[in-house]
Amino acid sequence: MSNNYNTELTPSLISSLKKIRHVALDMDGTIYLGNRLFPYTLGFLKTLTENGIGYSFLTNNPTKSIEDYLAKLAGMGIHATEENMYTTSIAAIDYIKDRFPSARRLFLLGTPSMVRQFEKAGFEACTDDPDDVPDVLIGSFDMTLTYARLCRAAWWASQGIPYIATNPDKVCPTSERTVLVDCGSICKCIEHATGRKPDITLGKPDPNMLQGILHRHGLQPDEIAMVGDRIYTDIAMAHNAGAFGVLVLSGETTLETALEAKEAARTQKNPEVYPPDLIVRDIEELGSLLVASRR
């Protein structure tokens, strides 16, 4: 392989790759970066189909509704249905309906597209008013966030309102010359101001997203590969679900960071770091390895 890390097709790796029947794909940093589709993505999806391997798209980015994500994928030439998609907005909706069945009114830190997803599910968005008391507070990746709404969210957190974070990501990958502050950093701000953390943080690395795919397709954990660009979300979720974790170097994580994580896990210096089962340059390289394992 044309890289300086080990992707040798050992008997153990061949055995693991041959079992893969479904690939769960992170989106930003894995199949595209920002609004730029990687040139190899469509070819990779075709390779999966030709080899009888299914695929789904998972994202910790809740800023778009399912409809908006499908429209974005279609605009890039990728055909997908609602069955192919699972976002942290959907995870939060499922969690609220299960744990707080009487909840209707939510204070949402989220984009208009995300808010529409919650409204479609039957919820109402609370206003920035101390008398408009929500049933649940939702912290999320909000690129439309204003200071006033951040302060109101901190107020509800300080008042003991049930508090859910959609995802733990600190930043969102981007090809632009900026830092996109993500949900984990926004919630850290609220924690610093109030002393309160979210009651639960959904999305990757929570294994529920993968377990839904396993159930939907009748798969065993070792028959699904979780592919993404982040060790602390994508690879951690693969570990938590018992799936095969593939780290791509096309997004947030550098090779140096990936190798440091593997060494930390090997020496048990950081037991909370889960090393990937496989490191590849990008999904194009993964496709080549999947094909080679079947020869």
Please tell me which residue, 111 or 273, carries the higher pLDDT value.
111
Q: Is the pLDDT of residue 89 over 60?
A: yes
171 lies in the same domain as 223 = no
Q: What is the mean pLDDT of residues 120-141?
A: 97
Q: Is 133 within the bounds of a domain?
A: yes
The residue from 166, 201, 236 where one domain ends is 201
Q: Is the pLDDT of residue 249 over 90?
A: yes
Q: Is 75 within the bounds of a domain?
A: no
136 lies in the same domain as 167 = yes
- Looking at residue 3, its pLDDT comes to 45
What's the pTM?
0.75
The residue from 201, 226, 246 where one domain ends is 201
242 lies in the same domain as 152 = no
Q: Tell me if 226 sits within 8 A of 238, measured CB to CB.
A: yes
Q: Is 61 within the bounds of a domain?
A: no
Q: Is 289 within the bounds of a domain?
A: no
140 lies in the same domain as 171 = yes
Cα→Cα distances 236→93, 205, 241, 268, Å: 22, 5, 9, 15
Q: What is the mean pLDDT of residues 226-243?
A: 93
Q: Is the pLDDT of residue 141 over 70?
A: yes
Q: Is the pLDDT of residue 2 over 50?
A: no
Q: What is the mean pLDDT of residues 235-257?
A: 93
Overall domain count for the chain: 2
Q: Is 22 within the bounds of a domain?
A: no
100 lies in the same domain as 145 = yes
108 lies in the same domain as 132 = yes
Percent of the chain predicted with pLDDT > 90: 73
* 152 phi, psi to nearest 5 deg: -65, -40
Q: Is the pLDDT of residue 4 over 90?
A: no
**pLDDT tens digit string along 28-43?**
899 999 889 999 999 9
Q: Is 68 within the bounds of a domain?
A: no
166 lies in the same domain as 225 = no
235 lies in the same domain as 178 = no
155 lies in the same domain as 173 = yes
Q: Is 152 within the bounds of a domain?
A: yes
- Looking at residue 6, its pLDDT comes to 57
95 lies in the same domain as 196 = yes
Q: Tell me if 278 sits within 8 A of 36, measured CB to CB.
A: no
**pLDDT tens digit string along 152-179?**
999 999 999 999 999 988 998 787 899 9
- The Cα 106–Cα 191 span in angstroms is 19
Taking Cα atoms as reference points, which of 26, 41, 131 lies closest to residue 79?
A: 41
**Domain ranges, residue 254:** 211-281
For residue 182, what is the domain's CATH number?
3.40.50.1000
Q: Is 32 within the bounds of a domain?
A: no
Residue 1 pLDDT level (bands cut at 50, 70, 90) = very low
239 lies in the same domain as 167 = no
The residue from 157, 177, 201 where one domain ends is 201
- Looking at residue 76, its pLDDT comes to 95
- The Cα 19–Cα 6 span in angstroms is 20
The dihedral through the CA atoms of 103, 84, 81, 68 has a sign that is: positive
Percent of the chain predicted with pLDDT > 70: 96
Please tell me which residue, 168 or 111, carries the higher pLDDT value.
111
Beta-bridge mates of residue 225: 23, 244
111 lies in the same domain as 139 = yes
